[in-house]
Amino acid sequence: MSRPILAATVVTAVSLAPPCFAQSATPEGVADQFAKAWSNHDKAAFARLFTEDARFMPTYDVVFEGHANVVAGIYEAHEGWARETTLTTSKVGVQQLRPDTAVVHFNVAVNGPAGIDRPPLGRSLLLVAVKQQDGWKVATGQLTKPNCPPQ
């Protein structure tokens, strides 16, 4: 195959290939993208999921501010306790505030490594997602614990 034909073939293939974004085409998909990034322990996927000015509160006394800090803070767990965990979602709900802004609320189960018999860790995530040129991204989020039973 001649170089001009090969070059034209490559350019055509690249231009017709679907885009590969971690961002979701819908606000509902943000929950799925978060779970996939978590379960795959994919720092790059987390990086694509958050806006540049993102904020994330994993506990009441910890706040990560700014894209780099949010991604580093979440990924730090994946270098430690979350290294072999997976995340499943349920009860995904969306409140569309404006065409480009939505609240995404869902429950998560943090599942331990295979072969370890312990119940999943239940939590809820509340995310504010904003529509950007390349898809929906998380602008802010908060992880919450379930109600504790009375003692």
For 32, 38, 40, 87, 119, the CA distances from 116, given in Å and listed in that order, are: 24, 19, 19, 15, 9
pLDDT the model gives residue 141: 97
Query: Residue range 23-37: average pLDDT?
Result: 92
Which tokens in the block code for residue 71?
Answer: 């991604």
pTM: 0.80
pLDDT the model gives residue 1: 56
- Selection from 119, 92, 122 nearest residue 109 by Cα: 122
pLDDT the model gives residue 16: 38
pLDDT the model gives residue 97: 97
Q: Which residues of 39-55 are buried (b: 16+ CB within 10 A; e: fewer)?
A: bebbeebbbbbbbeebb
* pLDDT above 90 (res 44): yes
pLDDT tens track for 55-91? 999 988 899 999 999 999 999 999 998 899 999 999 9
Strand ordering across the sheet containing 50-59: 62-65, 50-59, 135-144, 121-132, 101-111, 86-98
Assign 4 to helix, strand or coil: helix
Q: Mean pLDDT across the chain, nearest whole number?
A: 85
All domains in the chain, ordered by first residue: 21-144 (3.10.450.50)
Sorting pLDDT into bands at 50, 70 and 90, what band is 117? confident
